């Protein structure tokens, strides 16, 4: 079979088109996955104090989360039936922080997250908000 220039051109065009199609499909997949994992949660705040956690500063469990890690900025309490401990989260309004589900709380049920703050005053200032939460990586 004689391979003409136009035949080569057609083959190249075909592979370029399928390459573009693959890229478009993967981009759609990523977008879809992101949409699926983003939901509006009720967000409240807490700190390590006795009022919030009912642990005395002298207790060896003071400031220690349900996962055993020390509570730090980025620590979030979740309903572990909905979000597994260790899951990383992105929270609307905090673009620089990747949060981590490390804690639980009796009042944290369903689509509710509790953000840890270093002081009770900051926790009070945060109050209660409705925020978009994205699950970044689940520890499945
Ligand atoms: Zn507190």
103 lies in which domain range? 39-137
- Reported as a single tens digit per residue, the pLDDT across 2-44 is 667 778 888 888 899 999 999 988 888 777 666 657 899 999 9
25 assigned to some structural domain: no
Is residue 112 classed as helix, strand or coil in its secondary structure? strand
- Whether the CB-CB separation of 136 and 98 falls below 8 Å is answered with yes
Q: What is the b/e burial string over 84-103, where b = at least 16 CB atoms within 10 angstroms of the residue's CB?
A: ebebbbbbeeeeeeebbbbb
9 assigned to some structural domain: no
User: pTM for the complete prediction?
Assistant: 0.73
What is the distance in A from the centroid of ligand 1 to the CA of 64? Answer: 14
Beta strand pairing status for 112-116 and 129-137?
unpaired
| Range 111-115 average pLDDT | 98
2 assigned to some structural domain: no
What is the distance in A from the centroid of ligand 1 to the CA of 121? Answer: 8
107 assigned to some structural domain: yes
22 assigned to some structural domain: no
49 assigned to some structural domain: yes
The count of structural domains within the chain is 1
17 assigned to some structural domain: no
What is the distance in A from the centroid of ligand 1 to the CA of 51? Answer: 5
CATH of the domain at 98: 2.40.40.10
Q: What is the pLDDT of residue 8?
A: 83
Q: What is the pLDDT of residue 26?
A: 84
What percentage of the chain carries pLDDT values higher than 70?
A: 91
What is the distance in A from the centroid of ligand 1 to the CA of 68? Answer: 19
């Amino acid at each position: 079979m004689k391979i003409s220039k136009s035949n080569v051109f057609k083959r190249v065009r075909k592979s370029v088109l399928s390459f573009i199609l693959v890229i478009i499909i993967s981009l759609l997949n990523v977008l879809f996955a992101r949409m699926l994992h983003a939901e509006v949660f009720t967000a409240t705040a807490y700190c390590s104090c006795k009022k919030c956690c009912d642990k005395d500063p002298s207790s060896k469990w003071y400031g220690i989360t349900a996962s055993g890690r020390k509570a730090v900025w980025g620590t979030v309490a979740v309903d572990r039936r909905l979000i597994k401990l260790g899951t990383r989260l992105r929270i609307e309004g905090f673009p620089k922080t990747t949060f981590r589900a490390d804690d639980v709380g009796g009042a944290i049920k369903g689509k509710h997250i509790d953000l840890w703050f270093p002081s009770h005053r900051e926790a009070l200032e945060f109050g209660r908000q409705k925020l978009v939460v994205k699950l970044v990586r689940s520890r499945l």
